[in-house]
Each structure stands twice: as structure tokens, then as C-alpha cells.
Amino acid sequence: MYSLTHLRNLSYDHMKVTYGDLINYKAPYSLIKAIYYIECASLLLCVTQKFITRPNFVTLLYIFTGVLGSFLLNLDSKVGVCVGIFLVFNKGVFDWWDGRLARLLNKVSNKGGILDPYGARVCDGAFRISVLYYALVNNMDWMFLYPLAVFLVLVPNVRFYAKATTQTHGEDVFSTVAVANFGWGENAEKWYRNYLCFLDGRARSVDAILLLILIDVLSSYELDFMILVLALMLVIRATVEFFINLFVFLVIEKH
């Protein structure tokens, strides 16, 4: 049996080794959310360490929580939507939990290494689909665009350029090809990286959207138009990402 203090210290030590330091003034919200995840995950791990010994089971809980929470956002019930917001907000706790459990029991595996990013993509896809529906159901004149919007948001997940990614040893494909073959320089690389940080799948982007939905549901403020604009930005972001990746794939195959 491991104490809660021991589990917390292990998590913080791992974070320091991985990221260099806990203090990150450039991303204060990410730091706060990471500490929240560590505290909650450590508590759950301490309470359940006797009977939950499979990290991949926790990863499946992570996927289930993210998907269920995302689709609860579209219930015609304030309670249901709030439960959905709570689940999506807290799904990352399971993500930290499974990693710590795997390292603690020395059960780090290739299966877990594949399942973890796969789960992140599934949760992210479910959330984006739900946000699109939430935005359009309050603007029914545009609902006919929902299938197209879903397609555009999900199409970057089609990994048709997996071979190209492998050839560059996991580096950012666009940056590698752009700099090496076209001399676009660091400015283009930096622009693209910053662009992908906008409305990405990380906590700061997801939680900002959740906050807008919460305000829209519980307050007298109507944020339908703002959420619709955000949904449009999600579609544009995904479309740009898809065509950039397609371009890079074709260039790599040509060379």
C-alpha cells in the first residue's frame, strides 16, 4: 500500500523531470489544471490501488468519461448539460491516473502507448462533434450544414500520412518539410505551431468552451452567436490542418 503523500510526490517528481519545473508563467492555467489533475489522480490511485491494477482499464474509463460527457452536453436538460461539463472537465484525471499506475506497477506497454493517444483523439472528436451540434441546434437555419461540419472537423484524424510521419521520426511533418525543402524558415514553422495551439484539444481550449456553454445554460446571457462563431473556427482550423497535412504528404512522397 502506498500512501497518498508518496503517490503525490511521485507524480510531482515525474512532472518536474518531464517538464523541467512546475512553474510555467507562460501557461498559468495549464499549470493549475495539471496540479488539479495530479491531486485528484493521486487520491483516486490511493483509494483504488488494491482492486484497480490495470492501467488500460483506467484508460478505457478516460475514453468513456470523455465521450459520455461530450454527448451529455446536448441534452435538453440543465442538469444533464452540467453533468456533461463536469465529466469533460475531469476526464483528464483518468489520463494522469493511468500513466502513474502503469509506472508504479511497471506495466508500461506498447498497447497502453497506443491506447492513450487513441483515447485522446476519440474524446477530442466527440467533444468537437458535440460543440458543433450545440451551436447549430440553437441556430436551426444552419443545421443542414452539420454533416459537412462534422466531416471537416474529423477529417484531420485520417492519418493518411502515417508513413511520412514515421519517416521523420515523429517530428512535426510540416515543419520538417517546409524548412528542409522550401526554405520557408522558422517564421512559417512558428506560425503553424501557434495556429495549431488555437482551439486545440488541451484543457485551456476545452475548458474555455465549457465555460461559455455553462454560462449559456445557467445564466440569462445568450451566447448562441459566440458559440456558433467558435464552432465555425473549429471547422476552419480543421480544414486548414487537413490541407497542410495533405500538401506535406504529397511533397514527401514526391521527394
Where residue 166 sits, what CATH number does that domain have? 1.20.120.1760
Q: pLDDT value at position 184? A: 59
Which residue segment(s) compose the domain that 184 sits in?
52-254
Q: Distance between CA atoms of 96 and 45, rounded to whole angstroms?
A: 10
CB-hemisphere CA count at 13 Å for 81?
A: 18
Give the pLDDT of residue 163.
Answer: 44
State how many domains the chain has.
1
The CA R_g of the chain, rounded to the nearest whole Å, is 20
- In a domain, residue 181? The reply is yes
What pLDDT is attached to residue 21? 62
Assigned domain for 3 exists: no
Q: Cell numbers of 39, please?
A: 491531486
pLDDT digit string (tens) for 192-236?
A: 777 777 888 888 899 999 999 999 999 988 898 899 999 999 999
Which whole number is the average pLDDT over 124-143? 91
Percentage helix, strand, coil, to 5, in the chain?
80, 0, 20
Where is pLDDT greater, at 164 or 212?
212
Burial label for 209, CB within 10 Å (0-12, 13-18, 19+), is buried
**What pLDDT is stored for residue 36 in this prediction?**
92
Locate 239 and state its grid cell. 480544414
* pLDDT at residue 34, rounded to an integer: 86
Report if residue 37 sits inside a domain: no
Pairwise CA distance, residues 227 & 209, whole Å: 8
Distance in angstroms (rounded) separating the CA atoms of residues 78 and 126: 20
35 Cβ neighbours under 8 A, 6+ residues apart: 22
Domain membership flag for residue 169: yes
Range of lowest pLDDT (128-132, 160-164, 212-216): 160-164
38-92: per-residue pLDDT in tens? Answer: 999 999 999 998 888 888 899 999 999 999 999 999 998 999 999 999 999 999 9
pTM comes to 0.85
**Separation between Cα atoms, residue 92 and residue 84, nearest integer Å:** 14
Cα of first residue to Cα of last residue in the chain, in angstroms, is: 56
Whether residue 88 lies inside any domain: the answer is yes
On average, the pLDDT of the chain sits at 82
- Separation of alpha carbons 255 and 55, rounded Å: 41
Evaluate whether residue 9 is within a structural domain. no
CA angle 16, 22, 28 (to 5 degrees): 150
Quote the pLDDT of residue 201.
83
Of the chain, the percentage scoring pLDDT greater than 90 comes to 36
Once rounded to an integer, what is the mean pLDDT over residues 183-195? 68
In-domain check, residue 30: no
Grid cell in block for residue 251: 511533397
